[in-house]
Chains A and B, each alone.
Chain A
Amino acid sequence: MRKEIEDLDKELDGDFSNLRKLLDMIPKNSQDLESTLKEMQLGTESGEDYYEKREEIQEYLQELADLVLDLNKMEESYSQFTDAKTKLESAAKKAQSSENFKKILDQMQSTKNNVTNITTDAHELQDLIDELKKDTGDCELQTTIAKRKKEFSTLSNKL
């Protein structure tokens, strides 16, 4: 049973590592998107480039804010589960009876399931960011730049 615990512990190490990578990557992606949306939001006054998109931009920013809350909860859970894993590893070293080993194995399996669930949730957050990026598209930059060129040309002709 000790061997089973060691194998499961190794699997958990892998699961934690994958989750850590996701939890590190999501905030960066989220912040990049947020910076873009906030810049777009600065141009949502009447007559400005993103006036028509103002509601969508606000909606996307709200979704990102909710996403950050979810992410914080995941970080809390991640800390709790890594603590639990450390305690279980320590308990496994001290355990003698098969009853204790069984209890540790069950708890470790439960932790693994929880980590898997959080990893799934984290993937969903990343998917949501990708979807928001897709919806944001090219920030209408091609259209806006073409408009600027025309405005500049009109201004130059007046000189």
Chain B
Amino acid sequence: MKVKEVEFKLKTFEQDKLKLQKLVSELDALKPQDFVDFTKNDVYVKKTRELKHLINDHELRLKEIEEVNKEVVRSLAEQDMENSVDLLQIKAQTLGEQLAEAKKHLTLISTSGEEMDGNISNPEEEEFIEALKNEMPDVFDNIENTELLLNEIEKLVQEVKKTLDVDIMTDL
């Protein structure tokens, strides 16, 4: 709606610009002797004054168009932000679900490893159990950190949706 308003105003502006151009050309074509011809120079004084008022009027209208245009740009930016936030939220939720699934499986593996500890029958199993013991704490730490990050993302998503704050969006 607003975009159409800007387009309409700009179109009207272009038409008016031609009228103003015509008036400027008309005055520009006058010769110095016309300015001291007191039978008609009152008309030129009047036209010059009217041209000033028209230009001032157009300056004001242009400012109005700029304001509407700013509003349009702002609305579009907000709409873009909302869409991006929605996408980010979905992505974060999907990641959260995948992470929970992975955590569940890794917990099973880790528990099995713990149960197998002391009941190993060959060096490969021993190597596997050792590796599990060494690496699983880091893996679970990473999972925990990622969960915290995903929680933080969810909070920011809610905040951006509420405030449409560009700075928060940038943090996100």
Binding site for B on A (CB under 8 A): 29, 32-33, 35-36, 38-40, 42-43, 48-49, 133, 136-139, 141-142, 144-145, 148-149, 151-152, 155-156, 158-159
Q: Which chain A positions have C-beta within 8 A of B42?
A: 32, 35-36, 38-39
**CB-CB nearest in chain B for A28:** B39
Grouping DSSP codes into helix (H, G, I), strand (E, B) and loop, the A interface class, with mixed when no group exceeds half, is helix
Q: Which chain A positions have C-beta within 8 A of B46?
A: 39, 42
Q: B62 touching A49 by the CB < 8 A rule?
A: no
**CB-CB nearest in chain B for A144:** B48
Q: A133 touching B21 by the CB < 8 A rule?
A: no
Q: Sort A-B residue pairs by CB-CB distance and give the 6 closest, nearest first.
A: A138-B35, A39-B45, A141-B35, A32-B38, A35-B42, A36-B42
Chain A nearest Cβ from B106, distance in angstroms: 63
Q: B28 touching A145 by the CB < 8 A rule?
A: yes
Given contacts A49-B52, A158-B62, A159-B13, contact A139 B39 (CB under 8 A): no
Chain A nearest Cβ from B55, distance in angstroms: 5
Given contacts A148-B55, A152-B20, contact A49 B49 (CB under 8 A): yes
Asked if B59 is at the interface (CB within 8 A of a chain A CB), the reply is: yes
Binding site for A on B (CB under 8 A): 10, 13-14, 17, 20-21, 24, 27-28, 30, 32, 35-36, 38-39, 41-42, 44-46, 48-49, 51-52, 55, 58-59, 62
Grouping DSSP codes into helix (H, G, I), strand (E, B) and loop, the B interface class, with mixed when no group exceeds half, is helix
Q: A148 touching B24 by the CB < 8 A rule?
A: yes
Q: Which chain A positions have C-beta within 8 A of B13?
A: 159
**CB-CB nearest in chain B for A42:** B49
**CB-CB nearest in chain B for A145:** B27
Of B28, B48, B59, which one neighbours A49 at CB under 8 angstroms? B48
Given contacts A155-B62, A159-B13, contact A149 B38 (CB under 8 A): no
Expressed in whole angstroms, the Cα–Cα distance for A39 and B48 within the complex equals 10
